[in-house]
Amino acid sequence: MHTPYVKLSPNLVSVSWAFCDDNLSLQCTNASPNMKFLFRKIIRDEHNYFRSLLSRGALLPEKSIRLTNMYRLKYSCFLEKEAMNLSSCSTKTMKEGRGVVKYIYQPKHGKVKPLNQPCFCVGNPTAEKNMLKSLVESWYTEGANALKSTNFFTNGFIARRDFYSVGKTIEDTQKIRRFFQVAFANLTQVGCAFDTCNTTIKLVCRYYAGSDANFLSLVKKEGNGRCVGQPLFKAGVPCIYNNQCSTYHNSSCSSFQYLCCDDHRCTPYENYVRNSGSKSGPVLMLQAIGVFSLLWI
């Protein structure tokens, strides 16, 4: 149990938090009716698992590269609500916005089952968990692999637009776009939502880079969370002490994860151990006919 470090004003409670338990943020009200506690937890924990791998250098082509000031994501009910507006089936064309990742799932045969009755889209609870895990994993691993043919890893990790054209296919370009979004070291929050649209499922995740104190003023401001044109992350020693986390004021370190927190909620000994589960996730992802896109203003 952690003690809040700041007294939150009433208008901030629903969107930014430094409470005793991170899981409190997974209990959203007035948010997406399709999302549930388990989905939110998987999305948050999988992001942080792969951000921890990034920080330790385990996900990069050159294993000796380690990263400093990589921040851990917390789940935001506010961003979930923003994502819900973009994931609605009635939204014919998604309004371009910085910090958005979209996934469209279409089964090979027939209509999809509504996501809340009772499974994500594939018919059983184990499969839905594995599919979400595989989905988030692909956003990190596929983009990193697609960038191997560039000088991204040897030239300051600058996220440049010209990298979008290095791939041989549109899919390669979108893998890089997604990686530039989810691997941005300064990100602190994520929220996702989805809708069942007859023959497809539309999943949208929104991201935020900034401290809790500035959340309301910055979340919709142009430029916030934008990583193109600047370093995606920085080489250095991953944090094990609080004073090694310097991007945001009052940051702390989860030393077992080598991730920073933008408030005092991190403790030195907390860790997330990923349970890979069954092998149905990767298989399902291979069967999915999907398109991803990262949208910028």
Confidence of residue 263 (pLDDT cuts 50, 70, 90): confident
pLDDT tens string 104-136: 655 544 444 444 333 344 456 777 788 889 889
Q: Across the chain, what does the average pLDDT equal? A: 71
Cα(106)–Cα(202) distance, integer angstroms? 9
**Six-digit token string for 198:** 């007859």
Instruction: Please state which of the ranges 49-58, 91-100, 108-117 shows the lowest mean pLDDT.
Output: 108-117
Q: Higher confidence at residue 35 or residue 40?
A: 40
Residue type, 93: T
Residue type, 1: M
Parallel, antiparallel, or unpaired for β 74-75 and 189-197?
Answer: parallel
Give me the phi and psi of 74, to 5 degrees please: -115, 160
Q: Higher confidence at residue 31 or residue 16?
A: 31
Asked if the model's pLDDT at residue 80 lies above 70, the reply is yes
CB 176 within 8 A of CB 162: no
In terms of average pLDDT, the best of 117-131, 258-272, 279-293 is 258-272
Asked if the model's pLDDT at residue 161 lies above 90, the reply is no
Q: Higher confidence at residue 4 or residue 137?
A: 137
Asked if the model's pLDDT at residue 239 lies above 90, the reply is yes
Predicted local distance difference test score (pLDDT) of residue 294: 30
Nearest to 264 by CA among 254, 279, 275: 254
Asked if the model's pLDDT at residue 44 lies above 90, the reply is yes
Confidence of residue 274 (pLDDT cuts 50, 70, 90): low
Express as a percent the part of the chain with pLDDT over 70: 63
Parallel, antiparallel, or unpaired for β 100-106 and 74-75?
Answer: unpaired
- What is the 8-class DSSP label of residue 274? -
**Six-digit token string for 128:** 């839905």
Long-range contacts of the stretch 243-250 (C-beta < 8 A, 24+): 244/68, 244/69, 245/69, 245/71, 246/69, 247/69, 247/71, 247/185, 247/186, 248/71, 248/188, 248/210, 248/211, 249/211, 249/213, 250/5, 250/6
pTM for the model stands at 0.75
Express as a percent the part of the chain with pLDDT over 90: 27
Cα(66)–Cα(56) distance, integer angstroms? 5
Nearest to 248 by CA among 191, 209, 190: 209
**Residue in the structure block whose two tokens are 């004073």:** 243
Radius of gyration of the chain (CA): 18
Q: Which domains does the chain have, with CATH numbers?
A: 24-115+124-238 (3.40.33.10)
Predicted local distance difference test score (pLDDT) of residue 69: 96
- For residue 99, is it left (φ>0), alpha (ψ between -120 and 50) or beta? left
pLDDT tens string 168-198: 677 888 888 889 889 999 999 999 988 877 7
Enumerate the β-bridge partners of residue 85.
Answer: none
Handedness of CA 258, 274, 125, 175 (dihedral sign): positive
Predicted local distance difference test score (pLDDT) of residue 219: 47
CB 292 within 8 A of CB 174: yes
Predicted local distance difference test score (pLDDT) of residue 22: 65
Instruction: Please state which of the ranges 11-20, 33-42, 110-119 shows the lowest mean pLDDT.
Output: 11-20
**Six-digit token string for 53:** 């791998």
- 3-state SS record for 143-162: HHHHHHHCCHHHCCCECCHH
Confidence of residue 212 (pLDDT cuts 50, 70, 90): low
Confidence of residue 10 (pLDDT cuts 50, 70, 90): very low
| Cα angle for residues 136, 240, 7 (degrees, 5° grid) | 80
Q: Label residues 271-282 b or e (16+ Cβ within 10 Å = b).
A: ebeeeeeeebbb
Predicted local distance difference test score (pLDDT) of residue 243: 93
CB 256 within 8 A of CB 268: yes
Residue type, 118: P
Asked if the model's pLDDT at residue 207 lies above 80, the reply is yes
Predicted local distance difference test score (pLDDT) of residue 45: 94
